Amino acid sequence: MATFYHVRNASVLFLWVLVSAGCVWGRPATFLQDFRVSWGDSHITRIDQGRAIQLRLDKTSGCGFASNKKYMFGRVSMKIKLVPGDSAGTVTAFYLKSDTDNVRDELDFEFLGNRTGQPYTVQTNIYAHGKGDREQRVNLWFDPSADFHTYSVLWNHRHIVFYVDDFPIRVYKNNEGRGVPYPKMQAMGVYSSLWDADNWATRGGLEKIDWSKAPFFADYKDFNIEGCEVPGPANCASNPRNWWEGAAYQALNAIEARRYRWVRMNHVIYDYCTDKSRYPITPPECLAGI
Ligand SMILES: *[C@@H]1O[C@H](CO)[C@@H](O)[C@H](O)[C@H]1NC(C)=O
C-alpha cells in the first residue's frame, strides 16, 4: 500500500514539474497536423499517413510547405533525403522565417544540388532585423541523397546553432552587447521547398538543370518542433526553464566543439566573414573570439 502511494505520488510530482516548467509537449510533429502546403500542392505526396512526404520538381512547378504555427525559440529538426543523381540547379531549402518583410528574421538551410558525383553544398544564412547577407557554405562529408540525415536549428537566447546530424556547422552567438543584431523579438514559422534555382545555385549559375532527368524528388520525415507556440502563453518564450535554454544548450559541449572545429577546418568552402571583396570591413559578429 505504502509503495503504491509513493509511486503514485512520484508520478504526480513528475507531472507537476513538467507543467510548472512551462514545458511544451514533445509530441512528434506530423505533416498533416503541423504543416500545410504553401505552393505546388499537386507536387507534394503524403506518405505513411503524413509522417513522411515527398516533394517533386518538374518543368511545370516546384513546391513548398509551411508550419501552421509560429514559434519563439526552441529546436526544429527534420530528416531529409535530397534529390539524388544529377541535381544541378535544384535547391531544397529548410528555414525559419518571421512574417515581417522589412524587419525579417530568418534562419536558412539551403541545399544546392550538383552534377552527378559532385558534392552537394549546404548554404546557411541568417537575417536579423531585416539584414541578411551572412552566407556560409559547407560541402557535406557524405552523400545526402543516399540516405536520410537530420538537419536541425537550435535557437535560444544565447545562440543559434545549425546542425547536420550531430555536427554543428554554424554558430551565431547573441552579441547584442556589441551591437550585433540578434533574432529574439519575433516568432518564426518553419518552411521548406524544392525549386528551380539554376540561375545561381550550382557553380554560380553555370550548371543548368538537365530537364531530361526530371522529375526531381526530395523526401522528408520525422518532423520535430519543440518551442513556444505563438499565439500561446505569453510568458513561455522568456521562461528560463524551457529545456532549450538549459545550461547544456548555452554553449557547444566538448564533443560538439571538436566536431565544429573539424567542419570549419575541412568543409567550409565560403564564409562571408572572410570575403574581403564584399566586406572590406569585417562584420562585427565575425571578429575572432566573440
Ligand atoms: C559543385 O561541384 C563543383 C565541382 O566539384 C564545386 O566547385 C561546387 O562547389 C559544387 N557545388 C555547387 C553548389 O556549385
Angle (CA) 166 172 175, round 5°:
145
User: Is 110 a catalytic site residue?
Assistant: yes
Measured at the CA of 154, the angle between CA 152 and CA 156, to 5 degrees, comes to 165
Atom of ligand 1 nearest to the CA of 201: 13
Average confidence score pLDDT of the chain: 91
Q: How confident is the model at residue 289 (pLDDT cuts 50, 70, 90)?
A: low
Q: Which of 91, 121, 267, 271 to mutate to test the pocket of ligand 1 (most atoms within 8 A of CB)?
A: 121
Residue nearest to atom 10 of ligand 1 (CA): 119
Task: Give the per-residue pLDDT at 234.
Answer: 83
From ligand 1's centre to the CA of 269, what distance in Å?
A: 10
Instruction: Check if 245 is active-site.
Output: no
Is pLDDT of 113 > 80?
yes
Report CA 216 to chain centroid distance, whole Å.
22
Query: Cα–Cα distance between 126 and 104 in angstroms, integer?
Result: 10
Share of the chain above pLDDT 70, in %: 90
Residue reference for cell 512551462: 22
The neighbouring-strand residues paired with 228 are: 72
pLDDT single digits (tens) 152-186: 999 999 999 999 999 999 999 999 999 999 999 99
Which residue ranges have their beta carbon within 6 Å of ligand 1? 112, 114, 118-119, 121, 201-203, 269
Q: Which pLDDT tens digit goes with each residue over 254-285?
A: 999 999 999 999 999 999 999 999 999 999 99
> What spacing in Å lies between the alpha carbon of 252 and ligand 1's midpoint?
29
Q: What pLDDT does 46 receive?
A: 94
Q: How confident is the model at residue 27 (pLDDT cuts 50, 70, 90)?
A: low
Q: Under CATH, which architecture does the 10-287 domain have? A: Sandwich (2.60)
Rounded CA-CA distance 238/244 in Å is 11
Q: Regarding beta strands 63-67 and 52-57, do their DSSP bridges make them parallel or antiparallel, or are they unpaired?
A: unpaired
For residues 236-265, average pLDDT: 97
Beta strands (DSSP E) in the chain are 35-39, 44-47, 52-57, 63-67, 70-81, 90-97, 106-112, 121-127, 136-139, 149-155, 159-164, 167-173, 189-196, 216-230, 268-271
Instruction: Answer whether the bond into residue 240 is a cis peptide, omega within 30°.
Output: no
Measure CA 3 to chain center. Answer: 46
pLDDT, tens digit (0-9, with 9 covering 90-100), for 81-110: 999 999 999 999 999 999 998 899 999 999
For atom 2 of ligand 1, the residue with the nearest CA is 118
